Amino acid sequence: MKRSRADLILLLLVVAAFAAGNIWLARRGTEEASVLELAPDASAFNRGPSGLYGLYRLWGELGKDSRVWRHSWKALPEDAGLLVVAAPFGVGPQAGRDEPPLLLRWVKKGHALLIIGGEPALLSACGLRLRPGPEARRALSPSAPTDLMTGVSALHVSGDRWRSAPPPAVIHIADGGGPALVSWPLGRGRVIALVDSGALANAHLAARDNAILAANIASLGTGAIYFDEYHHGHRSQPTLASLLLRPPLLWVTLQVLFALAVFLHAASRRFGPPVPAQDTPRYRASGEYVAAMAGLYQRAASRAVVLRRLAQGFRREVSRALGLPPDLPARQLAEAAARRCGADADRIARVLSLCEEQVTPTARPNATSSASGGLRGTRESLVLWAGSELETLRRQALGR
């Protein structure tokens, strides 16, 4: 009763939590609810702290044609002036080994590439090595008056730095730990590498002159600005997993998983206290089985059942040895055993009749003469006496 009441209270709490969550989502809208993040994801669709939604909107307000690219790097847009590849990718797939060379070949045709953060395969193809630093952010001044540093007095970045960069790279921002922003020409195009994945993210875009840097990057060339969303899981034909793990269906998925966990907790009942696992399996001996059955018979006061079982076992073994049917009358079976093995026929017939007729005598035969001495004792003593007698007669009849 207590268990059922506790389950009912838990179920009501879960229903109330679901209702409150759905009301909150309905009032604020799924777009605002997507600000909650389970993991960093530098996607233009992400309105959370690590997303680039603010950068996407900023470039749109500056008159730039901001778009999203939902395909792999094997087929890149020819009308693009700049492609933004920002890590981390969240739940999206990592870039394959064959994709970065195709991307760099596309840059050489006259396009620009902005790398934000450290995507391993792309960094390796570009000759960049990342040196992780502390998460604490600090302001860095420009290292040279370059085109990207126009109007920039300081950038608010984390402690990550580039350990190495290609030889023709121009260092725009650096400190004693290494460069934080570099760029270099590649064919007719250009590569810009910003080590801090959060410098242009929603949480830090308004810090110091980070937004001015974003405006300078957007003014470098002509053409549309594309955000790589394929590797963030936003494909042209999204998979079921990518749909369920992103807002707004993400919250539905979490609710279903939580409801499933509550159901399993309520439905799984233990029939007793936990039993510690044994190092080696324990096999019960036949003696334990006999003792357990004897205890059951004794508690149930089923002495008549025991006597019948003893008689049936004796009949089965002796009749099999003599080649006779087991349902012969007690006297015939006893005479056949006497002729074959010299057993005491009267003794066998007497004990079998006593067991099968469930007679309860008032005395027990003494130790010397079981055939003529009276029976005395309790019902338990009768069972013990019958078992002993039948075992002795069985050995005589079988010649053992």
**Quick one: 174 and 320 in the same domain?**
no
The C-alpha atoms of residue 232 and residue 43 are separated, in whole angstroms, by: 6
What range does the domain containing 370 cover?
286-398
Domain presence at residue 203: yes
Give whichever of 106-115, 214-223, 293-302, 308-317 has the largest mean pLDDT: 106-115
State which of 236, 271, 300 marks the end of a domain. Answer: 236
Report the DSSP beta bridge partners of residue 19.
Answer: none
Q: How sure is the predictor about 359, in pLDDT bands with cuts at 50, 70 and 90?
A: very low
Check residue 378 and give its pLDDT.
44
Amino acid at position 321, single letter? A
Do 211 and 321 share a domain, yes or no?
no
Whether the per-residue pLDDT at 305 is higher than 90: the answer is: no
Number of domains in the chain: 2
The verdict on residue 281 lying in a domain is no
Question: Going by C-beta distance under 8 Å and a sequence separation of 6 or more, which residues neighbour residue 238?
Answer: none
Is the pLDDT at 319 greater than 80? The verdict is yes
Identify the pLDDT of residue 350.
85
Res 357: pLDDT = 73
Stated as kind and residue range, the H or E segment containing 297 is helix 286-300
DSSP result, 333-394: HHHHHHHHH---HHHHHHHHHHHHTT---SB---SS-TTTSPPBS-HHHHHHHHHHHHHHHH
Beta-bridge partner residues of 171: 182
| Domain end position, chosen among 206, 236, 266 | 236
**129 phi and psi, to 5 degrees?**
-130, 130
Domain identity same for 296 and 195: no
Spatial distance between the Cα atoms of 50 and 29, rounded to a whole number of angstroms? 20
Residue 241 lies in a domain: no
375 has a pLDDT exceeding 50: no
Residue 110 and residue 81: Cα distance in Å, rounded?
8
Question: Does residue 13 carry a pLDDT above 60?
Answer: yes
Q: Give the whole-number percent of the chain exceeding pLDDT 70.
A: 72
pLDDT tens for residues 82-97?
999 998 875 556 677 8
Q: Do 115 and 195 share a domain, yes or no?
A: yes
- The enclosing H or E element of 172 equals strand 170-175
- Token digits of residue 373: 């001495």
User: Which CATH number does the domain housing residue 104 bear?
Assistant: 3.40.50.880
Same domain, 206 and 351: no
Whether residue 58 is found in the same domain as residue 125: yes
Which of 189, 196, 175, 217 lies closest to 59, judged by CA?
A: 217
In a domain, 262, yes or no: no
Residue 224 sits in the same domain as residue 315: no
For residue range 325-337, list pLDDT tens digits in order: 878 888 888 888 8
Predicted confidence band at 368 (pLDDT cuts at 50, 70, 90)? Answer: very low
Res. 60 pLDDT band, cuts 50 70 90: very high
Give me 361's structure tokens: 């005598």
Asked whether residue 16 is assigned to any structural domain, the reply reads no
The winner for highest mean pLDDT among 63-67, 264-268, 278-282 is 63-67
Same domain for 84 and 188: yes
> Would strands 189-194 and 178-186 be described as parallel, antiparallel, or unpaired?
antiparallel
Pairing mode, strands 161-164 and 129-131? antiparallel
For residue 302, pLDDT beyond 90 = no
* 4: in domain: no
pLDDT at 293 over 80: no
Task: Indicate if 222 and 319 belong to the same structural domain.
Answer: no
Range ranked top by mean pLDDT from 39-53, 170-184, 373-387: 170-184
Q: String of b and e for 70-86 (b: at least 16 CB within 10 Å)? A: bebbeebeeebbbbbbb
Residue 367 belongs to a domain = yes
Please check whether residues 214 and 344 belong to one and the same domain. Answer: no
Q: How confident is the model at residue 174 (pLDDT cuts 50, 70, 90)?
A: very high
- Is residue 277 in some structural domain? no
Instruction: Single out the residue in 177, 201, 236 at which a domain terminates.
Output: 236
pLDDT at 1: 44
What is the arithmetic mean of pLDDT over 374-379? 42
Q: What is the pLDDT of residue 260?
A: 79
Shared domain for 219 and 131, answered yes or no, is yes
pLDDT band at 55 (very low <50, low <70, confident <90, very high): very high
Backbone angles phi, psi at 368, to 5 degrees: -100, -35
pLDDT tens, position by position, 126-172 = 999 999 999 899 999 999 999 999 999 999 999 999 998 888 899 99
Take residue 228 and report the two structure tokens written for it: 């790589």
In the predicted model, what is the mean pLDDT of the chain?
Answer: 79
Indicate the pTM of the whole model. 0.55
Q: What is the DSSP letter of 23?
A: H
Nearest of 362, 339, 341, 355 to residue 389 by alpha carbon: 355
DSSP H or E run through 241: helix 240-244
Instruction: At 397, list the tokens.
Output: 């009849």
For residue 298, report the phi and psi dihedrals to the nearest 5 degrees.
-65, -45
67 and 208 share one domain: yes
Q: What is the pLDDT of residue 361?
A: 43
DSSP state of 225: E
